[in-house]
């Protein structure tokens, strides 16, 4: 078994989910201690030949922004074109400082950036599909072309974009693991992060710790 191969025989990839300024303390939609994932993720990248990143990338008129729904506040839930939508503060607006990757995140190994949430009419938590599974982002096809069979998901936020990325990875037939200490969540309702981990495990996502790589890394 060489370094590119995982125990299941295929290539594995690291997916960096939304490690952007707006999702860390000081940003518009911060996760608690979200900046702490950055050094963990940078170290983890050494274990992977292929690293890809997702970037939340909303137009100013995005339907997930409470500001675009008069009288509505962040945290409220609406029906957005037939899909239940949590309303958020304006965040990750295309081209804004908040949409940029965290300045300490190493990007040299990142081979592909998938921008998502660009359609004002539908949100996209997963790196693979929009929330209605109507359109694919291209990430699934890209990974398949690259011979990837196994993905490791890290980043922000555990209970939204990390969760839906991992769930879709399994749905697409990839082996999927979430490195839990390389993720932070929103916990809009206390317990959301724990519930997200349970939900992921229930469909076959492995929840691992970064120390797992000391034994299984190469
Ligand atoms: C996210 C809420 C809204 C995330 C993105 O990256 O988890 N959460 N947009
Ligand atoms: Zn968003």
- In the reported structure, the alpha carbon of residue 161 is separated from the centroid of ligand 1 by a whole-number distance in angstroms of 5
User: What per-residue confidence (pLDDT) applies to 82?
Assistant: 97
pLDDT in tens, 74-120: 999 999 999 999 999 999 999 999 999 999 999 999 999 999 999 99
For residue 157, which ligand has an atom nearest its CA? 1
Asked whether the predicted pLDDT for residue 3 surpasses 50, the reply is: no
Atom 4 of ligand 1: nearest residue by CA position: 161
- Report the side by side order of strands in the sheet with 110-116: 110-116, 50-56, 11-17, 148-156, 175-184, 206-208
User: What per-residue confidence (pLDDT) applies to 213?
Assistant: 85
pTM score:
0.95
- Residue 63 has phi, psi (to 5 degrees) of -70, -10
Residue 208 CA to residue 39 CA, distance in Å, equals 17
Residue 115 CA to residue 120 CA, distance in Å, equals 13
Residue 11 CA to residue 144 CA, distance in Å, equals 10
- In the reported structure, the alpha carbon of residue 216 is separated from the centroid of ligand 2 by a whole-number distance in angstroms of 33
Question: Mean pLDDT across the stretch 176-202?
Answer: 97
DSSP 111-122: EEEEEE--STTS
> Which ligand 1 atom sits closest to the C-alpha of 157?
7
Residues designated as active site: 18, 116, 161
pLDDT in tens, 146-174: 999 999 999 999 999 999 999 999 999 99
Residue 146 CA to residue 143 CA, distance in Å, equals 5
- In the reported structure, the alpha carbon of residue 204 is separated from the centroid of ligand 1 by a whole-number distance in angstroms of 22
């Amino acid at each position: 078994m060489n370094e590119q191969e995982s125990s299941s025989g295929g290539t594995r990839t690291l997916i960096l989910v939304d490690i952007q300024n707006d999702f860390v303390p000081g940003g518009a939609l911060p996760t608690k201690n979200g900046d702490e994932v950055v050094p963990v993720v940078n170290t983890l990248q050494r274990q992977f030949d292929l690293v890809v990143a997702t970037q939340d990338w909303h137009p100013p008129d995005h339907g997930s922004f409470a500001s675009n729904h008069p009288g509505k506040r962040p945290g409220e839930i609406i029906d957005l074109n037939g899909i239940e939508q949590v309303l958020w503060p304006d965040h990750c607006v295309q081209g804004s400082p908040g949409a940029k990757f965290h300045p300490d995140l190493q990007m040299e190994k990142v081979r592909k950036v998938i921008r998502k949430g660009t359609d004002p009419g539908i949100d996209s938590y997963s790196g693979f599909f929009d929330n209605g599974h109507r359109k694919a982002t291209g990430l699934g096809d890209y990974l398949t072309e690259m011979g990837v069979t196994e993905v490791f998901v890290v980043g922000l936020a555990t209970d939204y974009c990390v969760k839906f990325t991992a769930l879709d990875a399994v749905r697409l037939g990839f082996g999927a693991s979430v490195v839990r200490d390389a993720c932070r969540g929103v916990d809009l309702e206390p317990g959301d992060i724990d519930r997200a981990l349970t939900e992921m495990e229930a469909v076959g996502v492995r929840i691992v710790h970064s120390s797992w790589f000391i034994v299984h890394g190469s």
